[in-house]
Amino acid sequence: MKKQPNILWYCSDQQRFDTIGALGNPHVHTPRLDQFMKDAVTYTHAFCQTPICTPSRASFLTGCYPSTLGVNGNGNESFPRHYENRLLGNVLSKMGYDCGLVGKLHLASPMGRGGVENRVNDGYRYFQYSHHSKGPDEYGHDYAEWMKTQGVDPYQIMPAKKPAEDYRLGAKLKSHSGLYEPSPQSDNIPPHLHQTHWCTEKAKEFIDKNRHEDQPWMLSINTFDPHPPFDAPWEYYKRFNPDDLPGAHFKESDLIHQKKLQDAGVDFQSEVKHPDERQHKKIQASYYAMIEQIDHEFGRLLDYLETVGEKENTVVIFTSDHGEALNDHGLIAKGCRLYEGSVRVPLMISYPAKFQKNVVSPALVELLDITPTIYELLEMERPFYMQGKSLLSQLKGDIPTDSHREFVRTEFYGAIDFPDQTHATMYRDERWKLIWYHRKNNLCELYDLNNDPWEHHDLSEDQEYESIKWRLVQKCFDESAYIHQPDPPRIHPF
């Protein structure tokens, strides 16, 4: 009897959708991801359910919306233990999978616990933890321990971890979202010692583990990059001339509009500034360089799967938990702005034995659709609580790939520890996007994405679009009413 497929789920951190060369970005070089697309179904319109790490990861690992789980932001002490049996690793480990994790988990905060988050029964037997590339003295920082085995003193090469209180200062701190420009004389962490490289080495170690005969495995690989600060190694940064890059998507009118949202108290990790004030082209160069390193390391993993004969029977998923403002609209980092650069991410899925190859789909997809897809592939019973919509029929070619959802939604419900604890909801269909800031005196944004793909022209106060706005408000409200914890199946008609 042939074993169930392995699952390799590679999730970068804070990677925008528009960072893949073969998808139309001539400035970033991603040859391995470009090649992987030829073996995969690639979704160009995949959206996270919150543009913040913990709720997004909790959502796509369970197939539930963040508000359904009650995991709406970063900083929580632990993932809710009463929902641990919804985590994909927990479920697969119980059905015989050997589950491993390398890098971040971030279902809870690592702050205040020496740098390691409080785990529930997440199902990961193999656990190589590194929340970030800082903090050489943090307890349980497996990446720092690995550095010692390479003959390197992590105290000499890794930056110190900043106090948790600094998080609230956001992009005001260089260590949070600033640029660390390398040079031949003064590098950041070099490629062979980088956390992204370490993730590949530990992934290979897990794949090589001795297992029961025909036992399948599931491996989550969660790099810290391209999460800020922007500190790419010189080896990758030197490939770019920042002056040749396009820089941020920005219009002068953005300064006025973002000041309006800022004055309304809408939370964000940075204040609006002209992109030139933040060296936006150098930041873009470093961000792209970090992604080029991810591309290289992801390619090494694909090569290793082929070397050990596991390529054909392994589902490979490449995605990211959310995007990055990258100075678009005069903003850096993340927070309560639900623009495309922040909420739209890469998504590629490959399974050579059964899935279509070299397909690019424009269908609207939510990241919480990934887990129900795995359930259906493995012929597991779909739980009553799951809110995602399986992609399996599309992946297999049984139905067309040009549509999946009529709309996508993203929540921001007090997701960062900032004063306003802003709540906002995004409703986006193929053409229109509505962003509603709750309890803000009808403050909202409306964008025509066909004519304004980078969202510079808010139409919410334009009388010509009044009927469209209120139609979308009703749709958004209707869908929000149904995003609650689904009831268990009824056992009686009364």
pLDDT > 90: what percent of the chain? Answer: 91
Instruction: Tell me whether residue 467 is in a domain.
Output: no
Residue 308 maps to a domain: yes
Whether residue 463 lies inside any domain: the answer is no
Q: What is the pLDDT of residue 1?
A: 46
Q: What is the mean pLDDT of residues 196-225?
A: 97
pLDDT of 2 reads: 65
Average pLDDT of the segment spanning 224-248: 98
CATH classification of the domain holding 310:
3.40.720.10
Residue 429 has pLDDT above 90, yes or no: yes
The full 3-state SS of the chain, as one line of letters, equals CCCCCEEEEEEECCCCCCCCHHHCCCCCCCHHHHHHHCCCEEEEEEECCCCCHHHHHHHHCCCCCHHHHCCCCCCCCECCHHHHHHCHHHHHHHCCCEEEEEECCCCCCCCCCCCCCECCCCCCCEEEECCCCCCCCCCCCHHHHHHHHCCCCHHHHCCCCCCHHHHHHHHHCHHHHCECCCCCCCCCCCHHHCHHHHHHHHHHHHHCCCCCCCCCEEEEEECCCCCCCECCCHHHHCCCCHHHCCCCCCCCHHHHHHHHHHHCCCCECCCCCCHHHHCHHHHHHHHHHHHHHHHHHHHHHHHHHHHCCCCCCEEEEEEECCCCCCCHHHCCCCECCCCHHHHEEEEEEECCCCCCCCEEEEEEEEHHHHHHHHHHHCCCCCCCCCCCCCCHHHHHCCCCCCCCCCCEEEEEECCCCCCCCCEEEEEECCCEEEEEECCCCCCEEEEECCCCCCCCCCCCCCHHHHHHHHHHHHHHHHHHHHCCCCCCCCCCCC
> Do the domain assignments include residue 239?
yes
* 437 domain-assigned: no
Average pLDDT over residues 82-101: 98
pLDDT at 116: 82
- Is residue 488, in this structure, part of any structural domain at all? no
pLDDT for residue 135 is more than 90: no
Q: Kindly report, residue by residue over 35-88, the tens digit of the pLDDT.
A: 999 999 999 999 999 999 999 999 999 999 999 999 999 999 999 999 999 999
* pLDDT at 113 (0 to 100): 62
User: pLDDT tens digits, residue range 442-475?
Assistant: 999 999 999 999 999 999 999 999 999 999 999 9
Overall domain count for the chain: 1
Q: Which domain holds residue 300?
A: 6-428
The pLDDT score that the predictor gives to residue 170 is 87
Task: Let me know if residue 222 belongs to a domain.
Answer: yes
Q: Is residue 441 part of a domain?
A: no
